[in-house]
Amino acid sequence: MKFLPDGPVSVESFVQAVPVVQIDPITDDDWRLDSQEALAIALDDQGLGLLEGPSGKECSSVVLERQGFEPNLPVVWRLILSDCEEPLIGQTTVIDTMTGEVISRESNFPTAVP
């Protein structure tokens, strides 16, 4: 929609060129582990170590999501812990919502420069 200088409105339709990916909705049957249980699993020794980061100010998010866009993929908890003042310092932990198993954990810590 464009607002033209002399007052009229111009409307132009756009064709969707890229198909929209539809994913299965997440239902109560897709997960047993709640967010507090997932957080407790993620904050094991490795997760707690991150909370002792350089600035002492931590940010986090916990998201319930499908692990990808293909049909029937599992639902996971994705916990992101990071240092609020140093956003490149962080850790992402992916947890199976049915078993509580840690599927993956990636840590990003800056390397020391000699």
Sequence spans of domains, the chain: 23-108
Most confident among 18-22, 38-42, 57-61 (mean pLDDT): 38-42
Mean predicted confidence (pLDDT) in 76-97: 86
Mean pLDDT of 96-106: 92
Torsion 41-96-24-69 (CA) sign: positive
Categorize the per-residue pLDDT at 113 as very low, low, confident or very high, splitting at 50, 70 and 90. Answer: very low
> Mean pLDDT score of the chain, rounded to an integer?
79
**Whose CA is closest to 33, among 62, 72, 60?**
62
Q: Residue 69 pLDDT > 50, yes or no?
A: yes
Name the CATH architecture for the domain at 23-108: Roll (3.10)
**Cβ contact 89:51 at 8 Å:** no
The rounded radius of gyration (Å) of the Cα atoms in the chain is 21
Give CA–CA dist 16/71, Å, rounded: 22
pLDDT range class, residue 114, cuts 50, 70, 90: very low
Q: Sorting pLDDT into bands at 50, 70 and 90, what band is 51?
A: low
